[in-house]
Copies of this chain bind each other. A is one copy, B any other.
């Protein structure tokens, strides 16, 4: 090979500077880039391809649980937005506001918003849609026969971000938001729990993300919610990232939007609502969890291409035969199935150096790469590389044998990624029982690397908001959730590690994105 191979394709490495490594992976893997609009990203085809897979698979799970898609306005009248006090307070600081509906040429010859076209009431670009959907549900619901309403929306939302970061925190992002209305409190709570389970299953089985499911404390709740449920994953710098939330909204939004129905007992009652969402943040979460120092490593379930065929066509005389064989190989692979879908296979015929080409696909994180050159052709073999193994590792196998094995290899990669992530998480999750140990766990040992710390701590907490605030203030550590799983929260009474007050169970503490 003509190219010199760097030690790692990404500089800096994870160990050197995790934050910068992440930005470099997103760039090198061709996932997204900053746009000229502050805080708004351009999602490039390979990155959008991941989002398309996430969308399609989550959408099928929503439909299987009885939900239908619909679409609601991008703009929310300011007066609607104000209806729920906690809600508007939570979002007011990050709202993009439309005030004019026309441009005109000003005195200086430049375009400006036309003063004569100022809106009587400003419109908020939706940061989330509880209020506008609530006002619609109020029209849709008359009696208990109209319930439940089980709706999902795929949409863009805007939350003005001061410190944007590709995929993780952007002013505009893509997401889905489920909104449901129910006859009873119990049914609404069951819905919120069910959708959290859908997210947890999707995270585990599709994104290869081990997650803790749990409930947020009051201070971390969605503005306007009664309960916020969440799934929390650990990424490779041992911080937590929230990968999906499901809210039981009680009757808060029903009262704000006056969503009433004739109950079975003949009285007029307010409905009980839920909302739940996941976003393009999942793409960032997948990168931070699985990528390595050579670039992205994509779980096969959501990889835009499962297999990339790389014909080696450096010699003019063997080029046609190699391309022909590569095309035949592609078709054979595409005829196989994995996870109930046809295998997605791309052939990269670009006339650039084989080494450059190979490294591009390593950086992009394609699960399987197959090289095919004149010598392979003669031997009837192909050279296979798996993205979950070292970049240089190659296995030579008879072509037909490999084709039949593709689904198994993909399944194995998917499982490996999960196991690795679980291993990382479990070995960095500690039960901690003293304040001293807790502070030590979260305190960086090296002043130059303030981000390096212990990981997840499962510790006792009495429920005091003051203790929660103190830990956040002093350590930048928050309670990620009160875990659902008994094993995790360890239902043995104990004492709050800070205050010494009685505590019924452990909660999950971590630094987070």
With A48-B71, A111-B88 known as contacts, the answer to whether A102 contacts B98 (CB < 8 A) is no
In this complex, the interface size class of chain A, counting residues with CB under 8 Å from chain B, is: 35 or more
* Residues 43-93 (chain A) with a chain B CB within 8 angstroms: 43-45, 48-49, 51-52, 68-78, 80-82, 88, 92-93
Select A158's contact among B41, B74, B110, B122, beta carbons within 8 Å: B74
A100 at the A/B interface (Cβ < 8 Å)?
yes
Q: Say yes or no: A69-B97 contact (C-beta < 8 A), given A75-B172, A78-B111, A111-B82.
A: no
Asked if A135 is at the interface of the complex by the 8 Å CB criterion, the answer is yes
* B101 & A98 in contact (Cβ 8 Å cutoff): no
Do B100 and A99 touch across chains, with their CB atoms under 8 A apart?
Answer: yes
CB A221 to nearest CB in B, in angstroms, measures 20
Report the bound CA distance from A98 to B96 in whole Å.
Answer: 6
Contacts of A40 in B (CB 8 A): 73-75
State which residues 13-58 of A face B: CB under 8 Å. 33, 35-37, 40-45, 48-49, 51-52
CA–CA, A155 to B113, complex, Å? Answer: 24
Q: Assess the B97–A124 pair: CB atoms within 8 A.
A: no
Query: A160 vs B73: C-alpha distance in the bound complex, in angstroms?
Result: 13
Query: Does A160 lie within 8 Å of B92, measured CB to CB?
Result: no
Contacts of A125 in B (CB 8 A): 74, 98, 125
Distance in angstroms between the alpha carbons of A69 and B75 in the assembled complex: 25
**Nearest CB in chain B: distance from A422 CB, A:** 31
Are the CB atoms of B113 and A122 closer together than 8 Å?
yes
Q: Is A286 an interface residue (CB 8 A)?
A: no
> CA of A94 to CA of B81 in the docked complex: distance in angstroms?
24
Verify if A469 is at the interface (C-beta below 8 Å from B): no
Contact residues in B for A160 (Cβ distance below 8 Å): 101-102
Partner of A74, one of B69, B112, B122, B172: B172
**A76 vs B80: C-alpha distance when bound (angstroms):** 26
Asked if B88 and A103 make an inter-chain contact with CB atoms under 8 angstroms apart, the answer reads: yes
A416 to chain B, nearest CB (A): 28
Q: Which residue of B lies closest to A110 (CB)?
A: B82
Q: In this complex, what residue of B is CB-closest to A161? A: B101
Q: Which residues of B contact A452 (CB under 8 A)?
A: none
Q: Which residue of B lies closest to A103 (CB)?
A: B92
Query: Beta-carbon contacts of A169-209 to B below 8 Å, as 1s and 0s?
Result: 00010100000000000000000000000000000000000
Separation of A99 and B94 alpha carbons in the complex (Å): 13
Contacts of A101 in B (CB 8 A): 94-97, 160
In the complex, which of the residues A78, A103, A135 has the most CB atoms of chain B within 10 Å of its own CB atom?
A103
Query: CB distance B72 to A92 under 8 Å?
Result: no
Residues of chain B lying within 8 A (CB to CB) of residue A123: 37, 96
> Any chain B CB within 8 A of the CB of A132?
yes
Give A75 to B95 CA distance when docked, in angstroms.
13
CB contacts (< 8 Å) of A135 on chain B: these are: 35-36
Distance, CA A51 to CA B99, complexed state (A)? 30
User: Residue of B at shortest CB range from A150?
Assistant: B45
Q: Which B residues are in CB contact (< 8 Å) with A68?
A: 45, 48-49
- Is A151 close to B, CB under 8 A? yes
User: Does residue A437 face the partner (Cβ distance < 8 Å to B)?
Assistant: no
A440 an interface residue at 8 Å Cβ cutoff? no
Could you say which residues of chain B place their CB within 8 Å of the CB of A124? 103
For A98, give its contact among B41, B77, B98, B139 (CB under 8 Å).
B98
- Once the chains are docked, how many angstroms separate the CA of A122 from the CA of B118? 13
Cα–Cα, bound, A125→B88 (Å): 22
Contacting A73 at CB < 8 Å: which of B37, B74, B110? B37
A346 to chain B, nearest CB (A): 11
For residue A104, CB closer than 8 A to chain B, the reply is yes
Cβ distance A160 to chain B, nearest Cβ, rounded Å: 4
Query: Is A136 in contact with chain B by the CB < 8 A criterion?
Result: yes
Residue A336 lies at the interface, judged by CB distance under 8 Å to chain B: no
Chain B residues whose C-beta falls within 8 Å of the C-beta of A88 in the assembled complex: 103, 111
A74 to B158 CA separation, bound complex (whole angstroms): 9
Chain B residues, Cβ within 8 Å of A52: 69
With an 8 A cutoff between CB atoms, is A156 at the interface? yes
Chain B contacts of A76 at CB under 8 A? 37
- Closest chain B CB from A30 CB (angstroms): 10
* 5 A-B contacts (beta carbon < 8 Å): A44-B70, A45-B70, A48-B70, A49-B69, A92-B103
5 more CB-based (< 8 A) A-B contacts, given A49-B69, A95-B103: A37-B76, A45-B70, A96-B101, A97-B113, A100-B122
Q: Which 6 A-B pairs have the closest CB atoms?
A: A40-B73, A45-B68, A43-B71, A92-B103, A97-B100, A101-B160
Q: Which A residues are within 8 Å of any B CB, using their own CB?
A: 33, 35-37, 40-45, 48-49, 51-52, 68-78, 80-82, 88, 92-104, 110-113, 122-125, 132, 135-136, 139, 151, 155-156, 158, 160, 172, 174
